[in-house]
Amino acid sequence: MPKKTTAAAPELTAESIPAPESPHADLKIGVRINEVRTGQDNIRALASVVLNDAFVIKGVRIISGERGLFASMPAQRGQNGKYYEVCHPITKEFATQLSDTVVKEYQRHMIALAQAAQEAQETQETPLPEVELGMQ
């Protein structure tokens, strides 16, 4: 009877172990900018976020803070006068992913608004061609 041979197990090292995938990598995040604000306060816009085409979060604020733009979840004032988020991400990784996605959509929206305003201004400045009306 032949002897059974067993192959040596590959050596495990930190480099051979794949990095874990983000648990939120397949989560679809849709963002709609509902209102752009130009006032004196630090709120730049209001947005709605849709998760996996199944759950909507309204009242997300895009805030201009000391370290740049970020998304702030909707909040409600408690009886003690303090504000409490109505809903919020549980992990730091998802909070960052959500905020980054909202801010990027806000930036895209602002670029599109600027381009539309530029095109409208160019259209107003362009004289209409003169057309001769004659009888034939």
**Per-residue pLDDT tens listing for the chain (136 residues):** 566 656 666 665 555 555 555 666 788 999 999 999 988 789 999 999 999 999 999 999 999 999 999 999 999 999 999 999 999 999 999 999 999 999 999 999 999 888 888 888 777 766 666 766 655 5
Task: Enumerate the domain spans of the chain.
Answer: 29-121
Ranges assigned E (strand) in 22-54: 29-36, 43-51
Collapsing DSSP to helix, strand or coil, 65 comes out as strand
CB–CB of 87/74 below 8 Å? Answer: yes
The correct answer on CATH 3.90.170.10 for the domain covering 29-121 is no
Q: How far is it, in rounded angstroms, from Cα 109 to Cα 113?
A: 6
